[in-house]
A and B are shown apart, each in its own frame.
Chain A
């Protein structure tokens, strides 16, 4: 269908590339003809601009390929896929055996410019590979290749031959005008080619002793800064044309060529290089899994997804998770990272993951049961690996895709939670798995794996709900509802952290401490075995459990509480603002508010736990309109003022709560060791965003106090201090 709509219509100038009018100079442009060095440098610069226009999202056909040097060279290469044959001599224009004249200008073109063009095309091919492997076609970048081969079959070493030849040729001509500019362009391409090496660099994650070599990127930035200062002469006439659209295999309609200014192109390339440099420098500094997740969520998933080029995101994805599912190419894998993640929350020294500690109870056929349990646990861990892989793969995508993928992951994690619960309950029947130790309560299975999965799922759910604001998914009249739902999810998160997750860790600590009693009672080799187990657990598990408890109590619980307060306060603020608006879209709606609620919440209705709050609960929690409807005149104003004051108090509570989190974060050494990364930038940013959001809403509420009730308003949103919290405000009609 899509193909059909793109059918080329013969005889229609807008759709038929065969009818593109070209000047004779554009058709008969001779790429092999000698040119002075000033022209050659200008071509190099324009080719770079054109290349960056492609990186910026345009098609090759209207950028790089519109340059006759590139097209002729690739057409020649296509014949035998040999680098020696990739030259500028157009065999359709020149007789067989034709060789370019033996002049200096001819060498500038056929040695210098050829080397540069070949090198730049190879850089293009590296970018193309990144794009085709992990980026989205036409959304992130356009990879239509027009059936040409961009040296994808050649190694970087093969391509470096002509490039090095060009560099050494130019180095011998220091006095030629524009030699410096041309040489810098060649050096830039040579450095960029090393990106393919950087992409395959290996990092011993969490134990890196050395930083990665980024000298080529550093040098590239220096070259780009110098290139920014140069001016070039005009380009050879008709060099860039639409000839390629008329001549090559082309299933597309005619389009105008596009290029960028040198400044824009240099800015884009500089951005790419510095972002990649940042990735390569930061990853070895990450000390643990918690820091890695913070880095992925904030630096990659948020900052890079917003500001960096799609190529950088693609580079990161390929660099971070390799084909063999290893992380950064060495010992760490997706599976080991998943285990670390579980361990840093609740799965510490759990007997479920230690098969040797299994003592099968309540059965006569222990071996069969053991094998059956082992198979179930293995399968569960495989499923967790896959789900964790999906989670890690999200961050390198653009923000819209991130939300889509997270949404898809929710279904996966939801069914994973169910499976985990079934497996853990099954295992507990045979005495496998840890128990919760609570006074007065008989031993209950702690369900550490499903608790971890539930926590991850809740985090994903809140992220999906809140990123809906960033992507303008909700109507203004739905905003309070969605913030309320987010607050409900944060309440669940808080409850889960402060309840079950805290309990799992403290129970394990108690269990380890209680081992001393068992040791006293035991005799002989059993006593020794218990003693050595306790020693091992005290050395290995206890520090992690204490860290987990500190993280939950001092960091995760206060953060989830703050987020709960924030979402609740913002929801109430928006609902209050709605009071001053006549909302035609809700008031005159043909559907009942309950149906509208169900429709809006439909995407979350398929999640098993936590269940979607029923409409009645939503109405109960969001009763500002009902409350205000009971009053009129002076009484209404008094009630309004009372509600405004209560919302203002809630916003102030949020600000205080943020300060508490930050205090804990700075004071507690255990938390610092685990989460302090990149000068605590993420937390500082979070604090600033939350406080500024509260201040903005306090300002909006203050304005409400002065309304007389005769004004007409519309509810609008503007960019806020946080992408997830736009500021809703009243606009006078």
Chain B
């Protein structure tokens, strides 16, 4: 699948310091750097480590080198795949 197909898809990006970013992929450059819109950051709550804390960050650029894992919403991934077949 071509990576451009993922533009507009909801992504979950885990970065190297443990934070998880949920947002909509807006741009991807040839080096794999991402620009995500409407991003929510989830991290271990600094006040209480047994909890998670989520906050809105808006537009975020994620350099390729900090990305640990990248996930796409399962249903959305399926739809992208179907479109490609058709």
Interface positions, chain B 24-76, Cβ under 8 Å from A, are 35, 41, 43, 45-48, 51, 53, 55-63, 65-66
Query: How many angstroms from the CA of A90 to the CA of B21 in the assembled complex?
Result: 25
Query: How many angstroms from the CA of A724 to the CA of B35 in the assembled complex?
Result: 49
Whether A250 is near chain B, meaning CB under 8 Å from some CB there, is: yes
Q: Which segment of A7-15, A100-108, A376-384, A528-536 sits at the interface?
A: A7-15
A92/B61 in contact, CB under 8 A: no
A249/B61 in contact, CB under 8 A: no
A246/B21 in contact, CB under 8 A: no
Residues on the B chain within 8 Å of A19, using CB: 17
A11/B16 in contact, CB under 8 A: yes
Interface positions, chain A 224-275, Cβ under 8 Å from B, are 246-251
Whether B15 is near chain A, meaning CB under 8 Å from some CB there, is: yes
Interface positions, chain A 318-363, Cβ under 8 Å from B, are none
Query: How many angstroms from the CA of A522 to the CA of B43 in the assembled complex?
Result: 96
Whether B19 is near chain A, meaning CB under 8 Å from some CB there, is: yes
A93/B47 in contact, CB under 8 A: yes
Whether A4 is near chain B, meaning CB under 8 Å from some CB there, is: yes
Residues on the A chain within 8 Å of B17, using CB: 11, 18-19
Partner of B55, one of A6, A92, A250: A250
B47/A249 in contact, CB under 8 A: no
Query: How many angstroms from the CA of A22 to the CA of B15 in the assembled complex?
Result: 20
Contact A10-B58, Cβ < 8 Å, known A27-B47, A92-B45, A92-B48: no
What are 21 pairs between A and B in contact, CB < 8 Å? A4-B35, A7-B35, A7-B59, A9-B62, A10-B61, A11-B65, A11-B66, A17-B57, A18-B43, A19-B17, A27-B47, A28-B47, A92-B45, A92-B48, A92-B51, A92-B53, A247-B53, A249-B56, A249-B57, A250-B57, A251-B58
Interface positions, chain A 135-192, Cβ under 8 Å from B, are 147
Whether A634 is near chain B, meaning CB under 8 Å from some CB there, is: no
Residues on the B chain within 8 Å of A22, using CB: 46
Contact A251-B63, Cβ < 8 Å, known A11-B16, A18-B19, A18-B43: no
Whether A711 is near chain B, meaning CB under 8 Å from some CB there, is: no
Q: Which of A7, A19, A247 has the most CB of B within 10 A?
A: A7
Number of interface residues of A (CB under 8 A): 25
Query: How many angstroms from the CA of A247 to the CA of B47 in the assembled complex?
Result: 10
A90/B47 in contact, CB under 8 A: yes
Partner of A8, one of B47, B48, B59, B65: B59
Residues on the B chain within 8 Å of A147, using CB: 56
Q: Which of B17, B45, B60 has the most CB of A within 10 A?
A: B60
Whether A620 is near chain B, meaning CB under 8 Å from some CB there, is: no
Query: How many angstroms from the CA of A429 to the CA of B17 in the assembled complex?
Result: 83
Residues on the B chain within 8 Å of A251, using CB: 56-59
B60/A7 in contact, CB under 8 A: yes
Residues on the B chain within 8 Å of A6, using CB: 59
B59/A10 in contact, CB under 8 A: no
B63/A92 in contact, CB under 8 A: no
B55/A7 in contact, CB under 8 A: no
B47/A92 in contact, CB under 8 A: yes
Kindly report which residue of chain B lies nearest to residue A147, judged by CB atoms.
Answer: B56
Across the A-B interface, the 3 shortest Cβ-Cβ residue pairs: A251-B58, A249-B56, A11-B66
**Apart from A11-B15, A22-B46, what are 18 other A-B pairs with CB-CB below 8 Å?**
A6-B59, A7-B59, A9-B60, A10-B15, A10-B63, A11-B16, A11-B17, A11-B65, A12-B63, A18-B17, A18-B19, A27-B46, A90-B47, A92-B48, A93-B47, A246-B46, A249-B57, A251-B57
CB distance from A74 to the nearest CB of B (A): 14
CB distance from B41 to the nearest CB of A (A): 6
A10/B47 in contact, CB under 8 A: no
B59/A3 in contact, CB under 8 A: yes
Contact A10-B53, Cβ < 8 Å, known A27-B46, A92-B47, A247-B46: no
Query: How many angstroms from the CA of A12 to the CA of B41 in the assembled complex?
Result: 15
CB distance from B84 to the nearest CB of A (A): 29
Residues on the B chain within 8 Å of A28, using CB: 47
A8/B58 in contact, CB under 8 A: yes
Binding site secondary structure of chain B: strand
Residues on the B chain within 8 Å of A250, using CB: 55-57
B21/A10 in contact, CB under 8 A: yes
Kindly report which residue of chain B lies nearest to residue A246, judged by CB atoms.
Answer: B46
Residues on the A chain within 8 Å of B21, using CB: 10
Kindly report which residue of chain B lies nearest to residue A28, judged by CB atoms.
Answer: B47
Kindly report which residue of chain A lies nearest to residue B55, judged by CB atoms.
Answer: A249
B55/A8 in contact, CB under 8 A: no
Query: How many angstroms from the CA of A249 to the CA of B15 in the assembled complex?
Result: 19
Residues on the A chain within 8 Å of B48, using CB: 92-93
Query: How many angstroms from the CA of A12 to the CA of B60 in the assembled complex?
Result: 11
Query: How many angstroms from the CA of A12 to the CA of B66 in the assembled complex?
Result: 10
A247/B58 in contact, CB under 8 A: no
Kindly report which residue of chain A lies nearest to residue B46, judged by CB atoms.
Answer: A27
Query: How many angstroms from the CA of A28 to the CA of B45 in the assembled complex?
Result: 11
Kindly report which residue of chain A lies nearest to residue B53, judged by CB atoms.
Answer: A247
Query: How many angstroms from the CA of A251 to the CA of B21 in the assembled complex?
Result: 14
Query: How many angstroms from the CA of A4 to the CA of B59 in the assembled complex?
Result: 7
Query: How many angstroms from the CA of A251 to the CA of B17 in the assembled complex?
Result: 19
CB distance from B67 to the nearest CB of A (A): 9
CB distance from A30 to the nearest CB of B (A): 10
Q: Which of A11, A19, A93, A147 has the most CB of B within 10 A?
A: A11
B56/A8 in contact, CB under 8 A: no
Kindly report which residue of chain A lies nearest to residue B39, judged by CB atoms.
Answer: A8
CB distance from A25 to the nearest CB of B (A): 12
A9/B51 in contact, CB under 8 A: no
CB distance from A16 to the nearest CB of B (A): 9
Kindly report which residue of chain A lies nearest to residue B60, judged by CB atoms.
Answer: A8
Residues on the B chain within 8 Å of A247, using CB: 46, 53, 55
Query: How many angstroms from the CA of A12 to the CA of B15 in the assembled complex?
Result: 12
A3/B58 in contact, CB under 8 A: yes
Kindly report which residue of chain A lies nearest to residue B56, judged by CB atoms.
Answer: A249
Kindly report which residue of chain A lies nearest to residue B21, judged by CB atoms.
Answer: A10
CB distance from B7 to the nearest CB of A (A): 15
Interface positions, chain A 544-569, Cβ under 8 Å from B, are none
CB distance from A98 to the nearest CB of B (A): 13
A8/B61 in contact, CB under 8 A: yes
Q: Which of A3, A12, A19, A251 has the most CB of B within 10 A?
A: A251
Kindly report which residue of chain B lies nearest to residue A11, judged by CB atoms.
Answer: B66
CB distance from B42 to the nearest CB of A (A): 11
Query: How many angstroms from the CA of A248 to the CA of B46 in the assembled complex?
Result: 12
Residues on the A chain within 8 Å of B46, using CB: 22, 27, 246-247
Query: How many angstroms from the CA of A588 to the CA of B53 in the assembled complex?
Result: 64
Residues on the B chain within 8 Å of A17, using CB: 57
A10/B35 in contact, CB under 8 A: no
Q: Which of A3, A18, A90 has the most CB of B within 10 A?
A: A18
Residues on the A chain within 8 Å of B45, using CB: 92
Residues on the B chain within 8 Å of A90, using CB: 47
Residues on the B chain within 8 Å of A9, using CB: 60-63
Query: How many angstroms from the CA of A3 to the CA of B58 in the assembled complex?
Result: 9
B63/A11 in contact, CB under 8 A: yes
Query: How many angstroms from the CA of A90 to the CA of B45 in the assembled complex?
Result: 13
Kindly report which residue of chain A lies nearest to residue B33, judged by CB atoms.
Answer: A9
B56/A10 in contact, CB under 8 A: no
Query: How many angstroms from the CA of A6 to the CA of B45 in the assembled complex?
Result: 25
Query: How many angstroms from the CA of A4 to the CA of B43 in the assembled complex?
Result: 24
Q: Which of A8, A10, A147 has the most CB of B within 10 A?
A: A10
Query: How many angstroms from the CA of A7 to the CA of B33 in the assembled complex?
Result: 13
Query: How many angstroms from the CA of A7 to the CA of B26 in the assembled complex?
Result: 12
